[in-house]
Structure 1
Amino acid sequence: MSETTVFDCTLIEMDRHHSDDRGNITVVENGKTVPFNVRRAYYLYDVPGGGSRGSHAHKELQQLIVAASGSFDVTLDDGNVKRTFTLNRPYQGLLVVPGIWRDLNNFSAGAVCLVLASEKYDEQDYIRDYNEFLKWKIKV
């Protein structure tokens, strides 16, 4: 998966169902909305305004990252090119493929980052050092 680039990552628009003045609902379904089966979901919240998270890559795991509330930026890096996406709509998710370094930053106050992942937590799948990531991208 080291051949992946930031251009393999994309924004996915999820269906919005309007229910008059009571608000909206967005449905996420395995293999339909998300191009993988979700095996783990988690969310980040109470990140200090302007704070950052992430700073790692995955060897095999795919993610759909959603700003469930508020906004934040996701900077993706494939070792050659960087792309930054601002997430601020709860009906859009950023698909992040394996082999991409990610940094999440510029969290607004009260932001909630929902992450849907293709695999359960596996520490062996993480690359947490950027220089190791670059070596891995070249080697594999």
Structure 2
Amino acid sequence: MRKWIWVAVIVVVSLAVGYTVAARAWGLPGAQLGNGQERKTETGLVCSLGQFITNLKDSGRYIRITLDLQAIDKDSLDQLTARYSELKTDIYALLRSKHYEELTGEEGLRNLQKAVLERIEVKCPGMARAVFFTEFIIQ
């Protein structure tokens, strides 16, 4: 009986380690970066601003997004990472000012991408090329 318990423990640990390694190598869920961590992708240098969860202006509604920024170059990436907290605060303020109707559908998502990029341009002009949502939930 003890032998089977040890086999089960070894299998579970092996699967967990294998998934973690694969997630980091192939960008699977569970390997999310946050706190201004950076990674290199085919589309350029990307800085993760992590997850945002906040209320919308509508009563009883909230939004949860995970946001990545594509930087122009390595220096820009370093500047964006250095201003991580400042950028997150501005994006939270933007999200809290939005109504549910403004964010629904593809048009709402694209408009929010533009608005976030405009906010980033104020603090870090010419440093961010694009905004990507890796998670987008409104309830």
Ranked by relative contact order (alpha carbons within 8 Å, sequence separation 6 or more), the top structure is: 1
Which of the pair is proportionally richer in helix? 2
Q: TM-score when scaled to structure 2? A: 0.26
Which of the pair is proportionally richer in strand? 1
Q: TM-score when scaled to structure 1? A: 0.26
Please identify the structure whose Cα radius of gyration is greater.
2
